[in-house]
Structure 1
Amino acid sequence: MSLAFSSSRPDRSAERWQSLRDIPPTVALSFAVLAVVIGWALTPWLFTGHDPISGLPAAKLLAPSAEHWFGTDHLGRDVYARVVYGTASSVGSGLIAVTIGVLAGGSIGLVAGFLGGWVDILLARLMDVLLAIPSFLLAVIIVTALGFTTTNAAIATGVSAVAVFARVMRAEVLKTREATFVEASFLLGGSRSHILFRHVLPNASRSVLSLAVLQFGLSILVIASLAFLGYGDPPPASDWGLLISIGKDYLKWPWLVYAPALVTTATVLSVNRISRWLRKAD
């Protein structure tokens, strides 16, 4: 027994190593980009020594250099430092939006698909109404009602994504509910709650995972767009969308727009690539 167990351990290690080697280079690069972004969000002071709020008037509108990687703005503030310190707000608000969408939309889809009947019909029609409204327009309406802050923009973005998560979860629950192992659990006397949380939810939530990753990137983009239009935190905040909005007034110094825009684009594209990889792996 012990010999067989010990001989199987190298095989498992080889399988894990092979699975890591099978990760496409673009996916590995996307993970690296996200690792840097997460580092910026959690410990921004480790990546820059410049103050993101206070600047030197004598150093205003300097081009990118070794000292100022992304140049400086009209107040002499280091743009790289402002991008780094704005990551926590931009990424954190995206996580808030995805959490709202997954919890609210996933719960609605789970209940609708598992119970069926009039409950399914009522919730499905409600989701159809939400899907009929463009998500960005719905987010603008909600954040206007709540107030112009980045947190409210995140809440509005999350609410606008509820219907998408509900539809995906409902479809997966309907498919899983008809599976043979679910019917067998019913025949063996399993309760509805046991079958729901032990069999249906774990199998139906796998597709929601890749959707959540994709929605995370989309949420960052939507929240940046809301901040660009002035629906987020006001200056001296350094949300990525707000930095782009400020930079558009200084087109003779294009790095004020290019730097935060490239960081936003790289983050969203990395998240989308990881989402496609997870969907194929699933």
Structure 2
Amino acid sequence: MTIASLSSVSRGTGTGRLAALRLPPTVALSFAVIALVLAWSLAPGLFTGHDPVNGIPADKLLGPSAAHWFGTDHLGRDLYTRVVYGTASSVTSALIAVVIGVAAGGLIGLLAGFLGGWVDIVLARLVDVLLAIPSFLLAVIVVTALGFDTVNAAIATGVSAVAVFARVMRSEVIKTRQATFVEASFLLGGSRWHILSRHVLPNASRSVLPLAVLQFGLSILVIAGLAFLGYGDSPPASDWGLLISIGKDYLKWPWLVYAPAFVTIATVLSVNRISRWLRKTD
């Protein structure tokens, strides 16, 4: 092979790598939206100077303007500020739900798929029972038992997601366990713990990341739905679902519903787009 051909191959490889690293515009926009939401949750005071709890009665129910981007509510509080300060609760609750779902569901699926036998039968039947109950209904049942609180709503949402993660992890573990390199490790005398931790778990968990990202968006919706129904924190909290619930009582001033609903929808759609991109670039 000539130097020129080697040079062209090198340039082609470099171009291919750059193309692989280049994000589609919709994915880049989705990452920007998520970055903004995370910044709101970490440092809300940097994005607004209004008080999220105490308003100015004379400024109640003002429409969106340069002074109040999302308008004001019935107590004269800046709605944009309320949305920004409510982001921390919504994001934190969704993260708690995802962690519970990944940890509990992943462990159940890992044990069921790797051990097999009666362990697989028992755990698979448990997962089937959980899947037979609609996730939102299961979340309502759990949060009713634990008490009306945002953290309890997050726990309830995480419990409702356990079955999904368990089913995905179990199928991936079974597929990985039948791989040639796993059988070779068994023949070379590898212990079950070594094979599980070094071979099965790293390869089986690849499909869990896109699912966890997708579940993060779904958890935001479920927690917002629970807050809308009154199963979360009570006012003056500013969870996104609670803001929508309060706004529905003032239909003559639609921005009270549109603003928090738009932020919720934009966040969930961005998370879903990132999840689809992760699945394609696995």
**Does 1:19 pair with 2:20?**
yes
1:58 matched residue in structure 2: 58
Structure 1 residue 24: Cα displacement: 1.1
Structure 1 residue 18: Cα displacement: 3.2
Distance 2:115 2:11 in 1: 46
1:178 matched residue in structure 2: 178
Change (3 A) 1:124 1:24: same
SS in 1 for 2:54: coil
Structure 1 residue 242: Cα displacement: 0.1
Structure 1 residue 188: Cα displacement: 1.1
Change (3 A) 1:152 1:186: same
Written as runs of structure 1 = structure 2, the 5 A alignment for 1:25-40 is: 25-40=25-40
Structure 1 residue 280: Cα displacement: 1.0
2:245 matched residue in structure 1: 245
Written as runs of structure 1 = structure 2, the 5 A alignment for 1:258-273 is: 258-273=258-273
SS in 2 for 1:236: coil
**Identity percentage of aligned residues:** 82
Taking structure 2 as the reference length, what is the TM-score of the superposition? 0.94
Change (3 A) 1:45 1:116: same
- Structure 1: which 5+ residue stretches go unaligned? 1-6
Written as runs of structure 1 = structure 2, the 5 A alignment for 1:184-199 is: 184-199=184-199
Distance 1:197 1:256 in 2: 50
Count of matched residue positions in the alignment of Structure 1 and Structure 2: 274
Taking structure 1 as the reference length, what is the TM-score of the superposition? 0.94
Distance 1:49 1:35 in 2: 20
SS in 2 for 1:145: helix
Report Cα offsets for 1:37-72 as digits up to 9, x if no partner. Answer: 000000000011111001000000000000100000
Report Cα offsets for 1:170-204 as digits up to 9, x if no partner. Answer: 00000000000101111111110000010000000
2:129 matched residue in structure 1: 129
Report Cα offsets for 1:236-282 as digits up to 9, x if no partner. Answer: 00000000000000000000000000000000000000001111111
1:165 matched residue in structure 2: 165
2:4 matched residue in structure 1: none
Structure 1 residue 103: Cα displacement: 0.1
Report Cα offsets for 1:118-145 as digits up to 9, x if no partner. Answer: 0000000010001001110000000001
1:204 matched residue in structure 2: 204
Amino acid at match of 2:260: P
Amino acid at match of 1:141: I
Amino acid at match of 2:20: S
Distance 2:275 2:183 in 1: 31
Change (3 A) 1:10 1:96: farther
Structure 1 residue 19: Cα displacement: 2.7
Distance 1:231 1:48 in 2: 28
1:82 matched residue in structure 2: 82
Amino acid at match of 1:63: G
Distance 1:51 1:11 in 2: 55
1:111 matched residue in structure 2: 111
RMSD over aligned Cα atoms: 1.5
SS in 1 for 2:189: coil
